[in-house]
């Protein structure tokens, strides 16, 4: 259902205007003038990541990349960013007139979820940690649900036990104080492709049928982890209520640039843009923790597939 773009990988470290080891896991959004903005995770040669914006008129090529890091870790003021900032997800919140970026802040205590606000991807207002370590794979919903902001995220307190890592939702009146935590999507068990560990991939996609989630399942194998993507649907007014969950994965590492790299067998989307018809989707993903790739699809086709290939709600 997703088609790899023939120009993949569309961005690599070699395209960067300053030294970069790898460029991957970009957040994505359309700016008011229709420009596609990717906020890429750039890993430097110390192993520390920062975020850098790349802009393109068609979302495929002609990228104009910021000459310097767009958002650097600032551990003096924000100690949770000591070892870098990673994997941004961007949501435009009309009520605020701002983009909210949910990103992983890598601290001594492990990875946590931090939020920052921006109007222009040049100036940023940090909110600090929303979720303490160990937590990542977060994205905000674009509007309040029953009066509260809602954040999807993936706590990982039980990695060493058999309890697994699952997707949760939390609510806040002000983007700073969070509560009302609820389990949204559980990892399956046993031999499933999405056993033991799942996480939100890009922000949820709002459709007339519900919030459409693209999530990653992490399969541990003797040769390392395999990151693949599945689909689930949640109620619009009650986003913790799972309406459907696909059984098989719909996208996984197959192309050479997904199979091999710093971390092979990883296809990891953090963002998408929708076409003017509200249906065509450009999915931007990190390939093997090394480069940025693009796959195109159709939201209505994803929904049709899900209605035929779901074993019901959050089946374990």
Q: How far is the CB of 137 from ligand BMA (least distance, A)?
A: 8
Helix (H, G, I), strand (E, B) or coil at 303: helix
Q: Contact positions toward ligand BMA, by CB under 6 A?
A: 25, 86-87, 227, 263, 266, 268, 286, 289
Nearest to 214 by CA among 224, 226, 227: 227
Q: How far is the CB of 249 from ligand BMA (least distance, A)?
A: 16
Q: How far is the CB of 144 from ligand BMA (least distance, A)?
A: 29
Q: How far is the CB of 285 from ligand BMA (least distance, A)?
A: 9
Cα 271 from chain centroid (whole Å): 6
CB 36 within 8 A of CB 304: no
- Which one, 65 or 288, has the nearer CB to ligand BMA? 288
- Which one, 145 or 295, has the nearer CB to ligand BMA? 295
- Which one, 80 or 86, has the nearer CB to ligand BMA? 86
Q: How far is the CB of 25 from ligand BMA (least distance, A)?
A: 5
Helix (H, G, I), strand (E, B) or coil at 300: helix
- Which one, 87 or 240, has the nearer CB to ligand BMA? 87
Nearest to 270 by CA among 282, 253, 254, 258: 282
CB 296 within 8 A of CB 284: no
Q: How far is the CB of 59 from ligand BMA (least distance, A)?
A: 21
Rg, C-alpha atoms of the chain: 18
Between CA 26 and CA 268 the distance in angstroms is 9
Strand order from edge to edge, sheet including 179-185: 135-140, 149-155, 167-172, 179-185
Nearest to 176 by CA among 123, 122, 116: 116
Helix (H, G, I), strand (E, B) or coil at 268: strand
Helix (H, G, I), strand (E, B) or coil at 48: coil
- Which one, 121 or 227, has the nearer CB to ligand BMA? 227
- Which one, 17 or 224, has the nearer CB to ligand BMA? 224
Q: How far is the CB of 26 from ligand BMA (least distance, A)?
A: 11
Nearest to 111 by CA among 72, 74, 84: 84
Q: Which residues pair with 38 in a beta bridge?
A: 28, 54
- Which one, 111 or 297, has the nearer CB to ligand BMA? 111
Taking every pair of C-alpha atoms in the chain, what is the biggest distance, in angstroms?
51
Distances (CA, A) of 223 to 219, 229, 251, 253, 290: 10, 19, 19, 14, 19
Q: How far is the CB of 236 from ligand BMA (least distance, A)?
A: 29
- Which one, 25 or 196, has the nearer CB to ligand BMA? 25
Q: Which residue is nearest to ligand BMA (CB)?
A: 263
């Amino acid at each position: 259902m997703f088609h790899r773009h023939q120009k993949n990988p569309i961005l690599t470290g070699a395209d960067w205007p300053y030294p970069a080891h790898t460029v991957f896991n970009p957040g994505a959004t359309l700016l008011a003038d229709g420009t596609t903005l990717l906020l890429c995770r750039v890993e430097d040669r110390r192993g520390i990541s920062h975020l850098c914006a790349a802009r393109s008129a068609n979302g495929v090529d002609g990228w104009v990349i910021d000459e310097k890091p767009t958002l650097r870790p600032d551990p003096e003021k924000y100690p949770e960013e000591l070892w870098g900032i990673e994997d941004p997800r961007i949501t435009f919140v009309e009520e605020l007139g701002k983009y909210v970026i949910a990103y992983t802040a890598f601290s001594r205590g492990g990875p946590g979820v931090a939020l920052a606000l921006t109007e222009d991807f040049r100036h940023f207002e940090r909110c600090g940690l929303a979720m303490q370590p160990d937590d990542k794979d977060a994205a905000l919903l674009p509007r309040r649900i029953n009066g509260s902001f809602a954040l999807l995220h993936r706590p990982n307190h039980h990695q060493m036990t058999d309890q697994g890592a699952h997707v949760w939702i939390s609510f806040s009146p002000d983007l700073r104080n969070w509560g009302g935590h609820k389990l949204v999507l559980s990892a399956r068990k046993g031999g499933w492709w999405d056993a033991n560990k799942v996480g939100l991939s890009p922000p949820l996609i709002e459709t007339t049928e519900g919030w459409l989630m693209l999530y990653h399942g992490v399969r541990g194998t003797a040769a390392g982890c395999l990151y693949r993507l599945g689909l689930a649907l949640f109620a619009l007014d009650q986003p913790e209520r799972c309406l459907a969950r696909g059984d098989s994965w719909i996208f996984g590492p197959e192309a050479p640039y997904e199979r091999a790299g710093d971390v092979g067998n990883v296809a990891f989307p953090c963002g998408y843009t929708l076409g003017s018809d509200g249906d065509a989707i450009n999915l931007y993903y990190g390939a093997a923790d090394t480069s940025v790739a693009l796959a195109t699809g159709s939201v209505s086709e994803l929904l049709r597939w899900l209605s035929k290939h779901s074993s019901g709600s959050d089946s374990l």
